[in-house]
């Protein structure tokens, strides 16, 4: 089937630099895609719009879309905030758009993209932040490998959480029902379109999408055989409070506690001077931020000096953002921010503005009070949000035995320089699973593996070797080698039993594949960590070793 799309290569490479991941020559060990062509195509696509019947489902349209088509996406009203004006289809697909009622006051928009060259498998994608936005780029990415791929709008349109106001059913869609409904309906339409049952079912998502993946493993263990969950927003209510607490630490830009971006850059350099070498390589990357006990006191201005240094109030701000957030009675609400994120966070959490996800979540899902001020966040309110926990969005259940017992697999990854969800939360969840299931980590490895991706920001970007095939953005290595692609790695684990020991990431020069490779690094499986055993050659993956 790879040969059959070869004529499109020239066309596609001129259109679509990042989505070429599937276009490399197949080779061992990735040689087990089915090669039969299914009885599907343009006429089957128009037929399915008429014939598909499913409870609560209305088919809005079914369009046959040839590879390379630049699809214009709806941008009206709230959808404009999704900032996704178009999407190129990487392969020939039948694009089906559906309306699904989930209650008498809530509904989802669901898209199923059914490739003509089907690999026999089903894939669901997830969402991000508080949206409300179909991630078309992830759907396209899935179809580029031949998956029948679905994505939904999570129960509302746009990036705002205002739709949660006084409507617990819209919140329920966001917490779990949109993804699950998309899977149930998506599998049904895939089975009907191809006139054949899919072989295996997969999930790919990051951030809120990572939380959605764990929600499925916790509550709908039958839905998937393999779940790839990145930077998961688990512990969601506490995360939302933690995201809002930085404003109270930094104050507004005119406060004496505030640092400007140049001052955060100073902090960043100081962090590297204290912690970069812990992993034996001075490369601008802190492999394991948990080992960095950064002390900003070194930046305190000596008397009479106000350049390249911080005031006492600013030093306290820096210490506070990296400290765990404790609540009522000294309970932990959320772990501190990981080091390595400060250049990004100068413009996100540390910019002296309310964080919109926190404001929206508390206003519309927790208090149903649109006037609530984010300057009024307290630990008591955080405890209240945790107690309200609508539709158990917390996503913290540690007992995954139903998923494990049916043979399900989980690949969890988290960028160690994440500027939105501290990477320290992921080991906490992993340990929660180990404790809840009374399994030592070595046994967890039989179905659940967690990889720490050094120098990766939130789901993508950063100074590290962050391209691991986690989405189109991370797929610039044109290979089908599962070692370099976490989605294909999941398929290899589920279908061939090849469990990953490391995940290999690539850093391209200026994050642009055409400029060439900067370096490649193997990322370790938690609780192992990466150390450099040959510092002179730290850009060579062989110079690194995973140790306990
Ligand atoms: C798709 O169309 C949009 C709007 O017409 C254009 O800006 C964009 O560059 C096109 N993308 C590709 C890959 O052709
Ligand atoms: C259809 O919607 C109703 C609520 O309106 C719900 O109870 C039922 O489970 C839904 N059916 C499916 C297949 O989602
Ligand atoms: C919607 O369904 C609920 C029960 O799930 C019912 O109490 C309510 O009256 C219904 N509302 C409308 C407008 O039908
Ligand atoms: C879909 O749900 C929204 C509430 O989120 C509601 O306003 C809208 O009327 C619903 N659409 C339909 C067609 O029922
Ligand atoms: C979201 O937008 C789609 C496309 O315009 C529309 O069909 C759907 O009803 C909207 N959903 C809600 C909940 O408003
Ligand atoms: C500081 O800025 C905030 C808004 O950003 C404003 O409400 C406040 O009055 C300002 N304080 C002073 C002392 O200027
Ligand atoms: C001020 O202190 C900082 C931090 O100790 C130091 O880097 C800088 O050189 C000092 N500047 C002057 C003018 O002494
Ligand atoms: C804090 O401790 C007090 C006394 O034990 C208890 O009544 C209260 O519920 C606790 N609050 C929280 C949020 O844990
Ligand atoms: C903020 O808190 C103060 C003191 O508790 C209260 O008086 C005020 O109404 C609150 N403001 C908002 C907008 O929530
Ligand atoms: C969330 O915070 C509360 C305190 O407000 C704490 O009791 C609870 O354990 C936290 N949950 C998680 C998952 O961290
Ligand atoms: C891309 O993957 C191939 C196949 O595993 C590997 O040999 C090559 O080193 C990778 N290139 C980069 C830049 O990661
Ligand atoms: C990479 O980006 C930097 C900063 O924008 C620029 O100075 C440099 O020339 C770029 N390198 C290449 C090879 O394009
Ligand atoms: Ca280092």
Q: Which residue has the higher pLDDT, 513 or 443?
A: 513
Per-residue model confidence as pLDDT tens digits over 294-322: 999 999 999 999 999 999 999 999 999 99
525 located within any domain: no
Which listed ligand is nearest to 515 at the C-alpha? 12
- The 10s digit of each residue's pLDDT in 426-442 is 999 999 999 999 998 66
Q: Which of 489, 508, 527 is the last residue of a domain?
A: 508
Same domain, 192 and 156: yes
Same structural domain, 316 and 333: yes
Are residues 82 and 218 both part of a single domain? yes
Quick one: 57 and 192 in the same domain?
Answer: yes
Residue 539 in domain: no
Same domain, 306 and 204: no
- pLDDT band per the 50, 70, 90 thresholds, residue 443: confident
> Where is the domain boundary, 367, 391, 415?
391
Which residues, chain by chain, have CB under 5 Å from ion ligand 13?
276, 279, 281, 283, 285
Ligand 10 lined by 414 (C-beta under 6 Å) = no
Q: Are residues 200 and 210 in the same domain?
A: yes
- pTM for the model: 0.93
**Ligand located closest to 279 CA:** 13
Active site positions, annotated: 207, 418, 458
61 lines ligand 1 (CB under 6 A): no
Say yes or no: 101 and 203 in one domain. Answer: yes
Residue 544 is assigned to a structural domain of this protein: no
Alpha carbons within 13 angstroms on the beta-carbon side of residue 539 total 7
Chain segment 33-45, per-residue pLDDT in tens: 444 456 688 999 9
Cα(105) to ligand 3 centroid in Å equals 8
- Classified as helix, coil or strand, 504 is strand
The structure tokens listed for 428 are 């906490």
Residue 201 lies in a domain: yes
Summarize pLDDT for 152-173 with one digit per residue, the tens.
Answer: 999 999 999 999 999 999 999 9
Residue 434 lies in domain: 6-20+33-236+393-508
Taking the C-alpha atoms of residue 475 and residue 229, their distance in angstroms, rounded to an integer, is 16
End of a domain among 391, 418, 440?
A: 391
> What is the predicted pLDDT for the residue at 332?
98
Helix axes 236-250, 312-322, angle to 10 degrees: 170
By DSSP bridging, strand 325-326 and strand 332-334 are antiparallel
How far, in Å, CA of 475 to CA of 487, rounded? 10
**Integer CA distances (angstroms), 181 to 58, 106, 261, in order:** 13, 12, 43
CA–CA separation, 146 vs 506, rounded Å? 24
From ligand 8's centre to the CA of 362, what distance in Å? 21
335 and 404 housed in the same domain: no
Name the token pair of 402: 């139903």
Does residue 498 form part of some domain?
Answer: yes
Asked if the structure places residue 433 within a domain, the reply is yes
Tell me if 27 is assigned to some domain. no
Looking at the fold, whether 321 and 436 belong to one and the same domain comes out as: no
Whether 78 has a pLDDT exceeding 50, the answer reads yes
Residue 172 Cβ < 6 Å to ligand 4 = no
451-483: pLDDT as tens digits: 999 999 999 999 999 999 999 888 877 677 899
Residue count of the chain: 548
Are 292 and 376 found together in one domain? yes
If asked whether residues 183 and 195 sit together in one domain, one would say yes
- pLDDT for residue 27: 37
Q: pLDDT tens digits for 105-116?
A: 999 999 999 999
* CATH number of the structural domain spanning residue 92: 3.40.50.1820
Main-chain dihedrals φ then ψ at residue 207, nearest 5 degrees: 70, -120
The tally of domains found in the chain comes to 2
Does any domain span residue 54?
A: yes
pLDDT of 38 reads: 62
Pair 377, 445 in one domain: no
């Amino acid at each position: 089937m790879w040969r059959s799309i070869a004529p499109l290569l020239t066309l596609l490479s001129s259109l679509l630099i990042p989505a070429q991941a599937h276009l490399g020559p197949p080779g061992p060990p990735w040689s087990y895609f089915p090669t039969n062509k299914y009885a599907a195509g343009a006429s089957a696509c128009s037929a399915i719009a008429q014939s598909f019947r499913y409870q609560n489902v209305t088919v809005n349209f079914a369009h046959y879309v040839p590879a390379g088509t630049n699809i214009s996406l709806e941008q009206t009203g709230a959808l404009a905030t999704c900032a996704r004006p178009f999407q190129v289809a990487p392969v020939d697909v039948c694009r089906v758009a559906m309306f699904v009622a989930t209650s008498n006051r809530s509904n989802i928009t669901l898209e199923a993209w059914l490739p003509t060259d089907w690999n026999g498998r089903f894939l669901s994608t997830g969402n991000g932040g508080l949206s409300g936005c179909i991630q078309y780029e992830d759907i396209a990415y899935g179809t580029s490998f031949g998956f029948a791929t679905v994505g939904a709008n999570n129960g509302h349109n746009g990036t705002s959480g205002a739709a949660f106001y006084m409507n617990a059913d819209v919140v329920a869609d966001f917490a779990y029902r949109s993804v699950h409904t998309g899977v149930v309906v998506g599998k049904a339409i895939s089975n009907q379109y191809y006139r054949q049952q899919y072989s295996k079912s997969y999930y790919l998502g990051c951030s809120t999408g990572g939380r959605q993946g764990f929600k499925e493993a916790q509550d709908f263990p039958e839905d998937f055989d393999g779940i790839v969950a990145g930077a998961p927003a688990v512990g969601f209510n506490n995360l939302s409070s933690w995201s809002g607490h930085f404003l109270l630490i930094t104050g507004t830009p005119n406060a004496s506690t505030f640092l400007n971006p140049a001052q955060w850059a100073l902090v960043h350099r100081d962090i590297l001077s204290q912690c970069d070498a812990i992993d034996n390589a001075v490369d601008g990357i802190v492999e394991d931020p948990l080992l960095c006990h950064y002390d900003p006191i070194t930046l305190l201005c000596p008397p009479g000096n106000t350049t390249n240094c911080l005031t006492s109030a600013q030093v306290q701000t820096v210490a506070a953002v990296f400290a765990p957030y404790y609540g009522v009675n000294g309970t932990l609400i959320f772990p501190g921010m990981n080091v390595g994120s400060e250049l990004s966070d100068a413009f996100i959490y540390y910019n002296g503005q309310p964080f919109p996800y926190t404001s929206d979540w508390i206003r519309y899902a927790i208090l149903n009070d649109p006037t609530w001020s984010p300057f009024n966040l307290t630990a008591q309110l955080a405890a209240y949000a945790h107690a309200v926990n609508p539709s158990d969005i917390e996503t913290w259940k540690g007992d995954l035995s139903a998923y494990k017992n049916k043979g399900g697999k989980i690949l969890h990854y988290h960028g160690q320089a994440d500027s939105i969800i501290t990477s320290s939360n992921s080991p906490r969840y992993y340990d929660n699973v180990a404790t809840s299931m009374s399994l030592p980590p070595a046994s967890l490895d039989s179905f659940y593996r967690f990889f720490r991706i050094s120098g990766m920001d939130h789901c993508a970007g950063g100074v590290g070797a962050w391209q691991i095939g986690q989405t189109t953005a991370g797929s610039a290595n044109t290979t089908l080698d599962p070692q370099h692609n976490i989605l294909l790695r999941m398929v290899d684990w589920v279908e061939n039993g090849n469990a990953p020991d490391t995940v290999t990431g690539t850093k391209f020069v200026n994050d642009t594949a055409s400029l060439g490779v900067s370096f490649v690094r193997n990322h370790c499986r938690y609780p192992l960590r990466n150390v450099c055993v040959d510092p002179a050659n730290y850009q060579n993956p062989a110079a690194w070793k995973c140790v306990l």
